[in-house]
Each structure stands twice: as structure tokens, then as C-alpha cells.
Structure 1
Amino acid sequence: MAKTLIEMEASARDYGRLASQRQEEYLNVLEKVESTPAEVNAAVEARDAMKQKYEALNAEIAAKKAAMNVSEADENKPSKREKAVDGFADMVRGVVSNNRIAKLDDFKNAVLAPTTAPVGPSVTERSGAWALPTNVSTDFISTPLAPNPLVDAAAHSAIVNLEIPRIDITFGDAFNGIADGETAKEIELKGSDVKFGRVKSKVFVGLSETVLAGTNLALTQFVYSRLQDGLLKLEANRAFATKPATGEEHMSLYNAANAITKVTGDDLYSAIVAAIADFEDEYADNLSIFMSRKDWFAIQTKLANGNSSFYSQTPEQVFGIPVHLTAKAVKPVIGDFSQYHVNYDPTTAQFEQDKDIKTGIVSFVATTWVDAQVKLAAAFRIADAKGSLPSLG
């Protein structure tokens, strides 16, 4: 079987070690006063034989590389991945060690980070991490991130001073014939454009000396994964906040500022079914449900009514549309979540350090500016059983 380049290079490394060993053995023989000519000749032969094998194998490796169009220059040249990792790791160490502030826009070339990004269909384009170097996320994140189903369902972008039509272009010609209904009334009331502001968001990553002293790749994985983890948590917390922070009320699907219709039923299952049926046709193909596992298990138990086979049914099979289970959804929210839009300002993200004097822990802090808007409240419903709907702010 033909040897691969990797296998040949591994053998060459072994040959190199053996060649060095044979050279040491030859020198030891020479240094011994009592060594015989025969012992010297044997040591010379052993040294030269291994050296010849080592050089011959390296010649074969060079020939194989040439055939594969792999030059030494290309091999030693840092790849884009390596440049991204090294740039990010150097920035982190510089911020923590020198107590300086780094702006993403200042070192975007080093980490290949975009300053603007379109709303796209891929998870990478909608990851909610446009305030960070996205190529690092794509290539290197290995630890699990915080569960945030909004990553796949909501719209994301990174455009400075974003302003978009309230009737989003994703609907195409679907709204051309609409002259009444909740959507038309909402557009007339709120205006045809949605304007995004900027809300400061901070994510803290505690760093130990061990992490800082580790490899660039390990440091990048650790810091970046936790920064993105924090941003994802912030998105979900704001979207489903029952008591949003001052200035963030408009980000909450539950808040009265968005005036999302509440639908009740005799029980939670009936309320959700009624909510699904309450939508205009234009939203029907994109509906999904965000609800807690507690609510789903309660519905499952009630519908099963002692029939154990029913427990094999998935939420999607029961409701006929995608269902996302998250503890953050204290009341089921049904809707076209592409009408919930998160926008990051990518030019103002900055990184700095913060040291807790009491604990001695140094934090790497990312400050980002973000806003989230419910583009069309008509695209959502909140479901609950009669008599149990609490005040959601």
C-alpha cells in the first residue's frame, strides 16, 4: 500500500531522531580510549546508514510534495485560520496585560471580522455574533453554546443605523393585496419603517493565568465561545423578558410596548391551537412556537389521558408546526419569528479588562451595541389558559 505524505513525514521524524542517536553513539566510541578500530568502523557504518536513510526519505517527501504542488513556502506561510487565531489571542493578551481598550473596527483585518453583514439564511449569518470575529466562530468553537433557538428563528444583521421597511422584503408579493386586517392597521398606526437604535451590552469572561499562558488556539476557543455564549443569552433573555430593563421594553415579546395579541382557551392546548388559527394567511407558512418544557409536558399528559403510546408524539406532530422548547418562554409565543429582528452595530464593539479587587479575578469584557425590534406585532400571539394569564409588563 502506498504511503501517505503524513506517514512518510512521521517516519522521517523517527529517522531523524535515530540519526542523532547514532551520531552520539559514534562520538562515545571515539571518546573511549579502549575502543578498537572494528568498533569505530561499526559505529561509522551505523551512523552513515541511518543518515543515508534519513536523507533519502526526505528526498522522497520533497518529491511527493512537489508532485502535489506543495512548496515549503506555502507550508510555512500562516493560513487565514492561523492569522485569525493569532490576531484574536494577541488582542486578548494585550487588553488583559496592558489594560488597554481594543475596538473591533481597529483590528478587524487581523481577525478577518466584517464590519457589516447582510441578513442571510445560514446559521453563521444569523448567529447573533456579528459583533465578534465570525470566522473564528465558524472554525474553532468547540464548547456547547447557550441554547438559544432565536439563533435559527429570528432575523439578525450588523448594519449601522439600520432602517428597514415594516413589510419586510422576505414576504415578496404576499402583501400586495392586503388592504385591511391587523397587519395593515399596524402599519398605518406605526409607520412603514422600523428604525433600530443602540443598547449597550456587556459580556464578561473570567480569565485565569493558565488560560492566558495557553496556546493561541486554546485561548481563542475559550474566550470567543464564552463571549458568544453571553451574547446568545442576552438575546434570549431580552426577547422573553417579563420585566425588561428600562430602555429595553421594546425588545420583549411579552411587553405591552409591542401590543402582541393574547389568545386564551379553556386550557393551554386549546389556546395554542386557537392562536395558530388566528393568524392571517401570509404568516401561516413560517409559524413556530416557543414554549417551556413544563407547559409541553402538561399538554402531553393531558392529551395522553393514560395512553402511554401518545408520549412518543413530538410537539411538532401535535401542533403541526415547529416547536422550540425553552425555559425562557414563560408563556407560549406563536408567530413568524423572522419578524423579530436583532441588529448589532459592528463598528463600535470594544474589548477591555475589568479586575475584581476583592477576588483578584481578571475579566475580559466585550461591550457591544445592539437593538432588537418586533417588526410586525401582527406576526405573533401569546397563548394561555383562561383565568391564568399574568401581567407580563
Structure 2
Amino acid sequence: MAKTLIEMQAAVREYGALAAKRQEEYVATLEKIESTPEEVKAAESARDAMKQKFEALSKEVKAKEDALRASDLNSEKKHGQSDREKAIDGFADLVRGVVSNNRTAKLEEFKNATLAPTTAPVGPTDDTHNGAWALPTNVSTDFIATPLAPNPLVDAAAHSAMVNLEIPRVDISFGDAFAGVQDGDTAKEIELKGSQVKFGRVKSKVFVGLSETVLAGTNLALTQFVYSRLQDGILKLEANRAFATTPRAGEEHMSLYDKSNAIKVVTAADKYSAIVAALADFEDEYADNLSIFMSRTDWFAIQKSLANGNTSFYLQTPQQVFGVPVHLTSKAVKPVVGDFSQYHVNYDPTTALFEQDKDVKTGIVSFVATTWVDAQVKLASAFRIADVVAAPPAG
């Protein structure tokens, strides 16, 4: 299946980080007095191979971006002011109205101004879901390439935008396949927690600081600046809550690490063994949808341990090593393995507000988005936390 532009851009960032890592390892090898010519050559080869892959993929991404821009320009020349231009102008005008006149705007006003559909996606099967329901979706899909700091949870978790959402735990999770898990941990959890997952509302605010230069700039520049930072902030809130080790009061249930969710911890003497043991610990119904969220620090440590001096191993991707998709994020302080479609984020589409706030100390005016959201672990049995426990001393 062909990769989307956003997926290719994410891969470029990952390749860039790996290329930088290979460069550091090459320099470290050169600086080691005891390094052999073979070790230096192998480190150089690993660095050059990663650099070549990074540059080649970067070239492909740039070509795709240029083609997309050219397509937009040709369309606009043929049809005058396009829907894209109208969306940009509508978004920019409302931002200036909120900031300059200290007014409050509701989400519907933004959606109408930017020609976005007012009907929210119905659930995780909707192909248009992107996790940022509090924002006009067509602004994102038409001309914003990607958030500043992509949140991998967006594609892995389920998202929806419904008021007073309740999900039938059994039907959504397994349907007819539930008969196959009647005696397992999933069935026991459903019996204990009940058949419905109910979503509440937690207030969330994202602030975008605006200078006079940005406000006085072009509509395109203003829209790109505000939208990308709003989306970046909203998606960061999702990830911060999902992987919070000390969640804020009232947000405990959103954290995969919090004891209230009772997610099983699988331990071993090292991170690699713990992750493999966690993968093997699931019921069959989850096997095809498993993925891993882990930090780059953990991955580099595993990579170094498994390589055992074989530099060619550094060309292996995390997915090739574990056999399932792997998402690298610094927020995952302990690796979490599971079917992340069982982690569900729901936005209330009727109560989002956009308003102005000024810091009198700095003079900076902020454009503020207030949203109401909740996230629920639908089935704790769909997740495992991989942790390290030191082996007991001999004797």
C-alpha cells in the first residue's frame, strides 16, 4: 500500500534521527584508541547507508510536496478563488476577529467560515479521523502538511466526536468473536466492568501566542501558524494524558500507566525480553492489531544490546525486530504493548470555544482554544506494560 505524504514525512524524521545516531557512533569509534580498522569501516558503512536512505527518502518527499503544490496552483488558476483560499481567508478573518475584538467564537463559526463539514465522524472506522476534532478538519487536510510534533497515538487509537458517548464494550471490541474469549481475561474484565463504556468531559485549553507581525501577515501565514500550533497542542495533550506517570486529578483514568486501569505488567531481566514476553501474553483476538509504544532511549539500548558489535544490525528497523508496528515517543517511559484501538478519545463537538487572552506582564496576546474531551481504556486486557525486574542475587 502506498504511503501517504504525512507517513513519508514521519519516516524522514525518523531516518534523520537514526542518521544522526550513526554519525555519533562513527565518531565515537574513531575516537576509541583500541578500535580496529574493521570496526571503523563497519561504523562508516552503517553511517553512509543510513545517510543514503535519509537523503533518498527526503528527495522523494520533496518531489511529492512540489507536485502537490503545483497541483494546487493549477487548480486555483483555472477556477479563480478556490475552496482552499476561501478556507484560509475565513479562518484568518475569525482569528483576527477573536484577537482584535476580544470576542468569543464557537466551533460552528469556524467550521462554517472554513467550509468544513459540521457532521463529526462517527467513530474509529471513519477514514477521515485525525484526532483533532476540535478544529475545522478541512483546513488540515487541504494545506497543513503535519503538526509540529506528530503524536503517533493519533493513528493508533480510536477517535470520535459525539455528545454523551457510550460504547457497548463487547460489540465494539469483538462482535461475534466474543464467544472465543469467554474464558479469558477479556471476558472476566467485561463481567467486572459492565458492557458499557461511558465518556465524560474534561476541560482542555491550548494557547497560541500571537505577535503583531503574525497578525499583520498574510492570511495563509496566519492560518498555517495558528492552526498548526493548535493541532500540535491538542495532540500533545492526548499523548501526555495517555502516558502520564503522575496524571492530574480527574485525569487518572486516561493514563495507561495509572493503577486505576489495572493494566497487566509483564517483567523480565531486560526491556527486549519484557517486550517479547508481553507480545506473547495476549489472547489470540488481539494478535493481528498489536503495536508497541516505546521511547527512543529504550530502542537504542535494545538495538545496541542485540547488535553485540555487529554494526549491520543497526540497519534493522524496530518493526523488523519485533514483528509488529513500533511507535517511538519520549512520552512512553515504559514500553506499552497492545491493541491501541481499545484506547478511545472522544471530543465533545458542541462546546469548543475560541477566545483571546492577554498576558499583561509580557504583552503577548494568545489565541485560546478550549475543548472538552475524555479518553477511556475500553479494555485493559488489550494492553501490557513491559518492565524490567532485576534478577535476584544468586544463593
Matched with 1:127 is: 130
Q: How far is 1:171 from its partner?
A: 3.3
Q: How far is 1:109 from its partner?
A: 1.9
In structure 1, the residue corresponding to 2:355 is in which secondary structure? strand
* Residue from 151, 158, 164 that aligns with 1:161: 164
CA contact (8 A) 1:350 1:367 kept: yes
* Residue from 73, 88, 92 that aligns with 1:85: 88
Give yes or no for the alignment of 1:101 onto 2:122. Answer: no
Q: Which runs of 4+ in 1 moved over 4 A?
A: 120-123
In structure 2, C-alpha distance between the alignment counterparts of 1:170 and 1:182, rounded to whole Å: 14
C-alpha offsets along residues 99-131 of structure 1, whole Å, 9 cap, x if unaligned? 0111112443222332422225566x3311111
Compute the RMSD of aligned alpha carbons.
2.0
Identity %: 80
* Residue from 245, 255, 260 that aligns with 1:257: 260
In structure 2, C-alpha distance between the alignment counterparts of 1:290 and 1:296, rounded to whole Å: 10
Q: How far is 1:209 from its partner?
A: 1.0
In structure 2, C-alpha distance between the alignment counterparts of 1:168 and 1:131, rounded to whole Å: 27
In structure 1, C-alpha distance between the alignment counterparts of 2:120 and 2:162, rounded to whole Å: 5
Can you give the 5+ residue segments of structure 1 that lack an aligned partner in the other structure? 1-69, 389-393
In structure 1, C-alpha distance between the alignment counterparts of 2:226 and 2:190, rounded to whole Å: 42
Instruction: Point out the structure with max Rg over C-alpha.
Output: 1
TM-score (norm 2): 0.76
In structure 2, the residue corresponding to 1:295 is in which secondary structure? helix
Matched with 1:335 is: 338
Q: How far is 1:218 from its partner?
A: 1.6
224-233 or 109-118, which moves further after superposition?
109-118
Q: How far is 1:86 from its partner?
A: 1.8
Report the count of equivalent residues.
315
C-alpha offsets along residues 259-318 of structure 1, whole Å, 9 cap, x if unaligned? 000000121111111111100000000000000111111111111222222222211111
C-alpha offsets along residues 6-33 of structure 1, whole Å, 9 cap, x if unaligned? xxxxxxxxxxxxxxxxxxxxxxxxxxxx
Q: Which amino acid aligns with 1:98?
A: N
C-alpha offsets along residues 203-251 of structure 1, whole Å, 9 cap, x if unaligned? 0001111111122222111111110010011011000000001000000
C-alpha offsets along residues 40-60 of structure 1, whole Å, 9 cap, x if unaligned? xxxxxxxxxxxxxxxxxxxxx
* Residue from 197, 202, 205 that aligns with 2:205: 202
CA contact (8 A) 1:291 1:333 kept: yes
Matched with 1:267 is: 270
Matched with 2:363 is: 360
Q: Which amino acid aligns with 1:127?
A: N
* Residue from 91, 108, 122 that aligns with 1:118: 122
Can you give the 5+ residue segments of structure 2 that lack an aligned partner in the other structure? 1-74
In structure 2, the residue corresponding to 1:242 is in which secondary structure? coil
In structure 1, C-alpha distance between the alignment counterparts of 2:123 and 2:192, rounded to whole Å: 26
Cα distance change on mapping 1:122 and 1:163 into 2, 3 Å: closer
In structure 1, C-alpha distance between the alignment counterparts of 2:145 and 2:335, rounded to whole Å: 31
In structure 1, C-alpha distance between the alignment counterparts of 2:354 and 2:230, rounded to whole Å: 11
CA contact (8 A) 1:265 1:386 kept: yes
CA contact (8 A) 1:161 1:197 kept: yes
* Residue from 324, 327, 347 that aligns with 2:327: 324
Q: How far is 1:167 from its partner?
A: 2.4
Write the mapping of 1:97-246 to structure 2, written as runs, cut at 5 A: 97-113=100-116, 114-121=118-125, 125-142=128-145, 144-169=147-172, 171-246=174-249
In structure 1, C-alpha distance between the alignment counterparts of 2:262 and 2:390, rounded to whole Å: 19
Q: How far is 1:387 from its partner?
A: 4.0
Q: Which amino acid aligns with 2:120?
A: T
Cα distance change on mapping 1:143 and 1:164 into 2, 3 Å: closer
